[in-house]
Amino acid sequence: MFNKIQRFIVLDILKNRVVLAYTLLLAVLSWSVFSLEDDSNKGVLTLLNIVLLTTPLVSIIFTTIYLYNSAEFIELLLSQPIRRSKIWTGLFLGLFFSLALSFIIGAGIPILLFVPGHVALILLVMGVLITAVFVALGFLCGIMSRDKARGIGISILLWLFFALLFDGLVLFLLFQFSDYPIEKAMVGVAALNPIDLARIFIILQLDVSAMLGYTGAIFKDFFGTGVGTAIGFALLCLWVILPYLLSRRMFIRKDL
Amino acid sequence: MIEIRQVSKHFGRFEVLKSVSLTCEAGQCIALIGPNGCGKTTLIKSILGMVLPSSGSIYFQGKDIARDFMYRHHIGYMPQKGRYPDNMTIGQVIDMIKDIRSSDDTLDEQLITDFGLDEILDKRMRTLSGGTTQKVSASLAFLFNPQVLILDEPTAGLDPLAAEILKDKIIAENKRGKLIFITSHLLSELDDLVTHVVMMQEGEIRFNMPTALLKEQTGTNSLARAITHVLKQDHVQ
Amino acid sequence: MQVLSPKDYRYVLGALCMILHSLSAVSGTIQVGSGFPFASVRKALEVSIDGDTILVHSGTYKEGNIIIDKSISFVGVDWPVLDGQLKYEVLSIKADHVLVTGFVVRDSGHASLDDPGGIKIYDSRYVHIINNRLINNFFGIYLQYSQHCIVRDNIIRASGTEEQQIGNGIHCWKSDSLQIIANSISGHRDGIYFEFVHGSIIWRNISFDNIRYGLHFMFSDNDAYITNLFRGNGAGVAVMFTKNVKMFNNTFEDNWGDAAHGLLLKEISDSYIFNNRFIRNTSGIYMEGTNRIIVEKNSFKDNGWGMKIQASCMDNTIRDNNFMRNTFDISTNGSLVLNTFNDNYWDKYEGYDLDKDNVGDVPYRPLSLFSVLVEQNPPTMLLYRSFIVTLLDRSEKMIPTLTPDNFIDDRPLMHAIPL
């Protein structure tokens, strides 16, 4: 039954102006990056920064706002004979599908055209996964506070934290404990930030990955192997599943 | 048909419902009245399962509604302020709800035609006035021929003509043996509709009696006067 | 059947003339092979005298260690194979004026203490090793205490995997006036190895996929290496403890790895690095204790670091180079800058050129904050391409606080130099 909710939400969101603008922005950025850079590898690196900045931002804020704006609609759905968990799942999948579709159309097409082979695939998969992570986090923001302004505030803070503050903290730790062998610990710390995980994943697919090896083989040794890849991938999936499940639990127990 | 047994609800330290008990039968048309913040909406939402009672339970046709959702097949709900996905058209919203309920019952599309919604099915929800949105909400509540109708301020925002259409529909459905809950501030509007009055105050049921009896006891011939009478008595006491 | 190619013939003739001239004796030709007077190379060598030509016809000769101690031309016809059976040094040359050409030399003994080679030259002058194929030897061609030798057009292959279990492709020790020309070497420890070799030239060689260095160069002054290609070697090329080396027109590419450099310079002085290409290396040039060298008109492309200049380097001039698409153009571990940068093209330069003289009006600081941070604390590389790093680099470019003040190119070019 939730397939229907999902389908209607996808239809609704795909006509949303913000989402259209997001798709267009991604398309303009990617096309211009690839036509300006004669080397596709460097294009990927430039695009990486854009993708890891805008995709989380748009995903989390749009999701949060959409949830607040749909409060009455959710209420309407609640008065219908549907399980609460199905409503939440439908909303999540609907939002995720439409934002992921925006990403694939906006950034995916130029990526597939200009970037060779598995690098393109990894970039796409990471973009879609990051979208999922931040939609899930948006669900958490949307359910945490009844107040719309506060919810949006939390979502912006979360984005700021993962995109900027977290790395600042890592930098601080690296220099604070530079006398200790903390490389291994740092791999663990990086796994706590989905944006860092995605970034390292993509860089490992490029020639510059050797740079990671140069500075402490541990990064490449860990993330470069099959097991490391699987663990990193699983961690990213956890970043989708845990916030989503938490938000669903809260939703099921919430008075609306 | 619906039995509410000692339902309490508190949000934090604030007690919204204090051990409310109420039994409603098919064929009744109940006006749920009371000042703002008396717990009317919370009670309605408890029946709909949107608000989960802190204690007590609610039975629908003898079955506890906690952890159930199928009973909502038999309820049509018209919210006070309906909001729908901005970019969907009226037609799509109606189709979606039809789809979700996938009901085998014969559909009651009378309100859709009476309100003239069938002529503007391709209009987007975003572009609709508050009144038209309410018409959509009302049409959806009645669409599936539910045994119970819960209408939260149904006529607020409707133009007089539309309000009249809705009232006629309520009366007709009530006569066909359906249980109807109405909350409204406009007591005069309820006069020719309701069979019972439930008045709430500070989370408790102040009184619950048939309209005829209320009028008789207070010696008045309109609901509005009867209520005013009761409130004045309170004041004197 | 062509005994010698015209090209080889010239050398044979040259060698023969010299031999004839010095010995003033009549020389003969000795044929070796099945159906020829001699079946054994050793026997032929025994009866030969200075000035003779020994023609060895095709076949496989397993005769242990073959020693040439006379001034002869030793010529293979249709690629005869000298097989060391993984036990012996295959060919030892202990005489001046020897020519060895047209042989397949394979399977020398491995890893014993006396460094067995496919072809080893002991204390000799005017030895020419031309157009041979050396396959799976411990050392390929080994020269010691030798002068005026030419090693040309040889193909040297091995498939070593461990540094300790394989020798060098062309190994030159305590020699001078050598010419190492147009050889192709792969799979050895070092492709070409020079230690205490002076006044020599390394020209048009290809050295690739060797385990350690493509070219390993130590205590060898006054040499030049020109137009060589070094690709995919474990650690690139190392030039150490040497002065007055000329490095022209070489290509250093695809030397990626933790300890790989396109070109490692250590304790080098008064040298000239001109018109080379450094492409896709972990670091294009890594300099340590390097003084008074000029790096001019080179192209640094797609490297992790274009140049890593350690604080121990002084008075070097880096001018008219192109730095393109490197992750970091320059990096250093010091704060004192004693080297000069001028007239380079940096693709990361964002200045302007109002007077249209092709020189940017704003000086360029090639040292990014992030490269300094990585130098101080390598694990920081974990944050490569993160937003905070971009932000830090931007602000540092506007208000330099952590990067050395005088690390600056005052005349950055607006366009790449056509190289």
Segment of A36-45, B79-88, C318-327 carrying the highest mean pLDDT: C318-327
Mutate to test the interface with A, among C279, C382, C389 (most CBs of A within 10 A): C382
Using CA atoms, how far apart are residues B171 and B192, in angstroms rounded to an integer? Answer: 9
pLDDT value at residue A1 = 44
Residues spanned by the domain of A132: 2-252
CATH topology of domain B2-236: Rossmann fold (3.40.50)
Mean pLDDT of B4-14: 88
Mean pLDDT of B58-77: 88
Using a CB–CB cutoff of 8 Å, tell me whether A252 touches chain B.
no
**Taking CB atoms and an 8 Å cut-off, how many pairs form between chains A and C?**
86
Chain A residues near residue C258 by CB distance under 8 angstroms:
213-214, 217
Among C25-34, C93-102, C133-142, C257-266, the range scoring the smallest mean pLDDT is C25-34
Domain ranges of chain C: 1-234
User: Model confidence at A136, in pLDDT bands (50, 70, 90)?
Assistant: very high
Mean pLDDT of C383-403: 83
**Taking CB atoms and an 8 Å cut-off, how many pairs form between chains A and B?**
83
Q: Where are the alpha helices (DSSP H) in C143-300?
A: none
pLDDT value at residue A75 = 81
pLDDT, one tens digit per residue, over C285-321 is: 999 999 999 999 999 998 889 999 998 899 999 999 9
pLDDT, one tens digit per residue, over C321-367 is: 999 988 889 988 877 778 899 999 998 888 889 988 999 998 998 88
Using CA atoms, how far apart are residues B39 and B7, in angstroms rounded to an integer? Answer: 12
Nearest Cβ partner of A72 from B82, B87, B102? B82
User: Model confidence at B193, in pLDDT bands (50, 70, 90)?
Assistant: confident
CB-based contact A164 C374, cutoff 8 Å: no
Structure tokens at C416: 């790449």
Nearest Cβ partner of B85 from A73, A79, A81? A73
**Nearest C-alpha of chain C: how many angstroms from A136?**
22
* pTM (two decimals): 0.78
Q: How far is CA B190 from the centre of its chain?
A: 12
pLDDT value at residue A240 = 95
Among B176-180, C337-341, C402-406, the range scoring the smallest mean pLDDT is C402-406
Using CA atoms, how far apart are residues B84 and C20, in angstroms rounded to an integer? Answer: 107
Using CA atoms, how far apart are residues C293 and A246, in angstroms rounded to an integer? Answer: 64
Using a CB–CB cutoff of 8 Å, tell me whether A21 touches chain B.
no
pLDDT value at residue C391 = 87
pLDDT over threshold 70, residue C140: yes
pLDDT over threshold 60, residue A70: yes
pLDDT value at residue C9 = 64
Q: Residue B190: CB partners within 8 Å, gap ≥ 6? A: B31, B33, B182, B184, B223
Closest C-alpha among B172, B198, B171 to residue B183: B198
> In whole numbers, what is the pLDDT of chain B averaged over residues?
87
- Which amino acid is residue A169, in one-letter code? L
User: Model confidence at A217, in pLDDT bands (50, 70, 90)?
Assistant: low
CB-based contact B50 A79, cutoff 8 Å: yes
Q: What are phi and psi of B65, to 5 degrees?
A: -90, -10
Using CA atoms, how far apart are residues B129 and B135, in angstroms rounded to an integer? Answer: 10
**In which residue are the tokens 């590898």 written?**
A41
| CA neighbours closer than 13 Å in the CB half-sphere of residue C208 | 12
**Nearest C-alpha of chain C: how many angstroms from A123?**
15
Structure tokens at C282: 């972990």
pLDDT value at residue B211 = 87
Please name the residue of chain A whose CA is at the shortest distance from the CA of residue B65. A81
Q: What is the 3-state secondary structure (H, E, C) of C153-199?
A: CCEEECCCCCHHHCCCCEEEEEEECCEEECCEEECCCCCEEEEEEEC
Chain C residues near residue A170 by CB distance under 8 angstroms:
382-383
pLDDT value at residue C126 = 96
pLDDT, one tens digit per residue, over A188-208 is: 888 789 999 888 888 877 766
Chain B residues near residue A79 by CB distance under 8 angstroms:
48, 50, 72, 75, 77, 79, 150
User: Model confidence at A212, in pLDDT bands (50, 70, 90)?
Assistant: low
CB-based contact A208 C325, cutoff 8 Å: no
CB-based contact B88 A12, cutoff 8 Å: yes
Query: C182 vs C387, which has greater pLDDT?
Result: C182
pLDDT over threshold 80, residue C124: yes
Segment of A35-49, C3-17, C153-167, C198-212 carrying the highest mean pLDDT: C198-212
Sign of CA dihedral A218, A220, A223, A229: negative
CB-based contact C384 A211, cutoff 8 Å: yes
Give long-range contacts, CB 8 A cutoff, 24+ apart: C344-352.
Answer: C344/C318, C344/C319, C344/C320, C344/C409, C344/C412, C344/C413, C345/C321, C345/C412, C345/C413, C345/C414, C345/C415, C345/C416, C345/C417, C346/C409, C346/C412, C347/C323, C347/C416, C348/C323, C349/C412, C349/C414, C351/C412
pLDDT, one tens digit per residue, over C183-193 is: 999 999 999 99
Using a CB–CB cutoff of 8 Å, tell me whether A57 touches chain C.
no
Q: How many helices and strands (H and E) does chain A possess? A: 14, 0
pLDDT value at residue C1 = 43
**Nearest C-alpha of chain A: how many angstroms from C165?**
25
Contact (CB, 8 A) for C23 and C47: no
Touch C-B: 3+ C-beta pairs under 8 A: no
Chains touching B (at least 3 CB pairs under 8 A) are A
User: Model confidence at A213, in pLDDT bands (50, 70, 90)?
Assistant: low
CB-based contact B102 A1, cutoff 8 Å: yes
User: Model confidence at A97, in pLDDT bands (50, 70, 90)?
Assistant: very high
- Judged by DSSP in three states, C59 sits in coil
To the question of domain C1-234 being in CATH 1.10.3470.10, the answer is: no
Chains touching C (at least 3 CB pairs under 8 A) are A
Q: What are phi and psi of C196, to 5 degrees?
A: 55, 50
CB-based contact C378 A200, cutoff 8 Å: no
pLDDT, one tens digit per residue, over C200-230 is: 999 999 999 999 999 999 999 999 999 999 9
Using CA atoms, how far apart are residues C166 and C209, in angstroms rounded to an integer? Answer: 13
Among A65-69, B68-72, C197-201, C312-316, the range scoring the smallest mean pLDDT is B68-72
Among A214-223, B98-107, B208-217, the range scoring the smallest mean pLDDT is A214-223
> In whole numbers, what is the pLDDT of chain A averaged over residues?
86
Using alpha carbons only, what angle is made at residue C410 by residues C408 and C413, rounded to the nearest 5 degrees? 110
User: Model confidence at C2, in pLDDT bands (50, 70, 90)?
Assistant: very low
Using a CB–CB cutoff of 8 Å, tell me whether C282 touches chain A.
yes
pLDDT over threshold 50, residue B140: yes
Chain A residues near residue B71 by CB distance under 8 angstroms:
81
pLDDT value at residue C380 = 84
pLDDT over threshold 80, residue C278: yes
CB-based contact A39 C302, cutoff 8 Å: yes
Nearest Cβ partner of A208 from C257, C304, C373? C304
- Judged by DSSP in three states, C359 sits in strand
Chain C residues near residue A213 by CB distance under 8 angstroms:
257-258
pLDDT value at residue C15 = 60
pLDDT over threshold 70, residue C8: no
pLDDT over threshold 60, residue C40: yes
pLDDT over threshold 80, residue C132: yes
Structure tokens at A142: 């949307």
Q: Where are the alpha helices (DSSP H) in chain B?
A: 40-48, 90-101, 110-114, 130-143, 160-175, 187-190, 211-218, 223-236
pLDDT, one tens digit per residue, over B208-220 is: 889 888 888 888 8
- Which amino acid is residue C72, in one-letter code? I
CB-based contact C387 A42, cutoff 8 Å: no
